[in-house]
C-alpha cells in the first residue's frame, strides 16, 4: 500500500516468569504440613533460574508428597507407587534437555520403590530427587514405613514398630556411582531453598532427604530438633550448602565437612545424636547414564528406517 512502511519489525521482549507462572492448583496438604515449604522453595528456584515451564518436568509416585506435580504449572507425571524414578529416568534418557524434579516419600522410595532407588542413584542422570521423610505412610492413613522409629504405634503395628529404621541417607551413600547426597529440615525455609538450589546446580542425580513433619500422624517425630537447635548439626564448607546466615545463625552446633570425602560423609550420616543438615557428599565427575542413552535422539525417522532396513538386510537369503 502506498505510503505504508513495510520494513518495520516488532521487537519481541524476552520472556520473564514470576512465581505465578509456576503455581499450579491450590495445594491440598494439611495445614502445617512441611510439603508446603518445599513446594514454595522449588517454585522460587524455578523463578530465580527462569526455567521454561514447558521444559520443566515434575515426576512423582504415590503418597502425600507425590501430589507435587499437581501444584506446579509445568509438565508433570503422577505415576504408580514406587515408580517415580524409572519414569524420570525414562524422560531424561530421551529428553536430556528437560529439567526434572522428582518428589517421593519414605514409603514410596524406600519400600516398594527401593530397587528403582538403587539403580537410579547408580545411573546418576541429571535430576533433583527430593525424599520427603516423615517416618510414616500419611496418604493411606498411618502405617509403619521403612523409616518409622521403634515404638511408634501405627495401624499396621498397633503395639509399636519393633524393627530399627532404615537410614536413607546412609543407604544412598553406599550405592555405586552416587554423586550428590544432602539433608535439610522443612522448618527452615532458608536452608531448604539453599539445599535444593545447590542440588539443582549439581551435574548429576542430586538426592536430597528432607526431614518433613506430618501434623496429622507424626507431629512429634522432629519436635525436639525443631525446639532445640543444638540437636541440629550444620555442615559447613565453601563447596557445600551455603545458606544465608540469617536462617542458620540459630545453629551453634557446626562441623567443617569436606563433601568430597565419602567415608567421612558416611560417618556423619550415621550419627543419631544429632540431625546433620547440609551437603554430605558430591562428585560432579561421576558418569551420567543419559550421556549414553540419549545418543541418537536427533536421528530422523528416515535415517532410523534406513538403518533398520540395512540391519535386517543382513539376514536376507
Residue 304 domain-assigned?
no
For the record, the C-alpha cell of 142 comes out as 498411618
> What gap in Å lies between CA 184 and CA 225, rounded to an integer?
12
For the purposes of burial, counting CB atoms within 10 Å of the CB of 185, is it exposed (0-12), middle (13-18) or buried (19 or more)?
buried
In this predicted structure, the answer to whether residue 254 has a pLDDT above a threshold of 90 is yes
Helix (H), strand (E) at residue 275 = strand 275-282
Residue 2 domain-assigned?
no
In this predicted structure, the answer to whether residue 109 has a pLDDT above a threshold of 90 is yes
Q: What are the b/e assignments for 94-124, b being 16+ CB within 10 Å? A: eebebbbbbbbbbbbbbbbbeebbbebbbbb
For the record, the C-alpha cell of 109 comes out as 522410595
In this predicted structure, the answer to whether residue 296 has a pLDDT above a threshold of 90 is no
Residue 11 domain-assigned?
no
Confidence of residue 5 (pLDDT cuts 50, 70, 90): low
Closest by CA position to 265, among listed 201, 200, 209: 209
Residue with the bigger pLDDT between 14 and 116: it is: 116
In this predicted structure, the answer to whether residue 12 has a pLDDT above a threshold of 80 is no
Task: Specify the pLDDT at position 295.
Answer: 85
- Domain enclosing residue 193, as ranges: 19-288
Task: Specify the pLDDT at position 221.
Answer: 92
Share of the chain above pLDDT 70, in %: 96
Confidence of residue 26 (pLDDT cuts 50, 70, 90): very high
Confidence of residue 125 (pLDDT cuts 50, 70, 90): very high
Kindly report the CATH number assigned to the domain that includes residue 108: 3.40.50.970
> pTM (2 decimals)?
0.92
In this predicted structure, the answer to whether residue 156 has a pLDDT above a threshold of 60 is yes
Confidence of residue 317 (pLDDT cuts 50, 70, 90): confident
Confidence of residue 11 (pLDDT cuts 50, 70, 90): low
pLDDT digits (tens, 9 = 90+) for 54-86: 999 999 999 999 999 999 999 999 999 999 999
Task: Specify the pLDDT at position 1.
Answer: 45
Residue 310 domain-assigned?
no
CA of residue 150 relative to chain centroid, distance: 27
Residue 298 domain-assigned?
no
In this predicted structure, the answer to whether residue 316 has a pLDDT above a threshold of 90 is no
> What gap in Å lies between CA 7 and CA 69, rounded to an integer?
45
Residue 29 domain-assigned?
yes
Share of the chain above pLDDT 90, in %: 89
Residue 302 domain-assigned?
no
Confidence of residue 232 (pLDDT cuts 50, 70, 90): very high
Confidence of residue 9 (pLDDT cuts 50, 70, 90): low
> What gap in Å lies between CA 23 and CA 66, rounded to an integer?
16
Sheet harboring 99-105: ordered strands across? 75-78, 56-60, 99-105, 127-133, 205-211, 180-185, 275-282, 232-236, 254-256
**Mean model confidence pLDDT for the chain:** 94
> What gap in Å lies between CA 279 and CA 257, rounded to an integer?
8
Residue 153 domain-assigned?
yes
Placement of cell 527452615 in the chain: 188
Tell me the average pLDDT across 235-241: 97
Q: How many domains does the chain have?
A: 1
> What gap in Å lies between CA 35 and CA 104, rounded to an integer?
11
Task: Specify the pLDDT at position 179.
Answer: 98
User: Which regions of 20-139 does DSSP assign to beta strands (E)?
Assistant: 56-60, 75-78, 99-105, 127-133
Tell me the average pLDDT across 107-126: 97
pLDDT digits (tens, 9 = 90+) for 161-184: 999 999 999 999 999 999 999 999
Confidence of residue 285 (pLDDT cuts 50, 70, 90): very high
Task: Specify the pLDDT at position 7.
Answer: 53
Closest by CA position to 105, among listed 57, 139, 142: 139
In this predicted structure, the answer to whether residue 189 has a pLDDT above a threshold of 60 is yes
Amino acid at each position: 500500500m502506498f505510503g505504508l512502511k513495510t520494513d518495520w519489525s516488532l521487537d519481541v521482549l524476552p520472556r520473564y516468569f514470576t512465581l505465578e507462572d509456576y503455581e499450579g492448583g491450590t495445594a491440598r496438604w494439611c495445614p502445617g504440613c512441611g510439603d508446603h515449604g518445599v513446594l514454595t522453595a522449588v517454585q522460587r528456584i524455578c523463578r530465580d533460574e527462569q526455567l521454561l515451564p514447558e521444559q520443566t518436568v515434575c515426576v512423582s509416585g504415590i503418597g502425600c508428597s507425590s501430589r507435587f506435580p499437581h501444584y506446579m504449572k509445568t509438565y508433570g507425571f503422577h505415576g504408580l507407587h514406587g515408580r517415580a524414578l524409572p519414569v524420570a529416568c525414562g524422560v531424561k534418557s530421551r529428553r536430556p534437555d528437560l529439567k526434572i524434579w522428582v518428589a517421593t516419600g519414605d514409603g514410596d522410595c524406600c519400600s516398594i520403590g527401593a530397587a528403582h532407588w538403587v539403580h537410579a542413584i547408580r545411573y546418576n542422570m541429571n535430576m533433583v530427587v527430593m525424599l520427603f521423610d516423615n517416618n510414616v505412610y500419611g496418604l493411606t492413613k498411618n502405617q509403619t514405613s521403612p523409616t518409622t522409629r521403634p515404638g511408634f504405634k501405627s495401624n499396621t503395628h498397633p503395639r509399636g514398630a519393633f524393627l530399627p529404621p532404615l537410614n536413607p541417607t546412609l543407604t544412598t551413600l553406599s550405592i555405586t556411582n552416587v554423586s550428590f547426597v544432602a539433608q535439610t529440615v522443612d522448618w527452615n525455609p532458608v536452608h531448604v531453598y539453599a539445599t535444593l538450589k545447590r542440588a539443582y546446580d549439581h551435574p548429576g542425580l542430586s538426592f536430597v532427604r528432607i526431614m518433613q513433619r506430618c501434623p496429622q500422624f507424626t507431629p512429634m517425630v522432629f519436635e525436639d530438633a525443631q525446639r532445640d537447635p543444638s540437636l541440629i548439626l550444620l555442615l559447613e564448607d565453601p563447596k557445600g550448602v551455603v545458606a544465608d546466615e540469617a536462617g542458620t545463625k540459630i545453629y551453634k552446633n557446626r562441623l567443617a565437612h569436606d563433601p568430597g570425602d565419602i567415608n567421612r560423609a558416611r560417618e556423619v550420616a550415621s550419627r543419631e545424636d544429632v540431625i546433620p543438615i547440609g551437603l554430605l557428599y558430591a562428585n560432579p565427575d561421576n558418569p551420567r547414564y543419559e550421556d549414553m542413552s540419549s545418543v541418537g535422539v536427533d536421528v530422523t525417522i528416515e535415517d532410523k528406517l534406513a538403518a533398520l532396513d540395512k540391519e535386517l538386510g543382513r539376514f536376507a537369503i
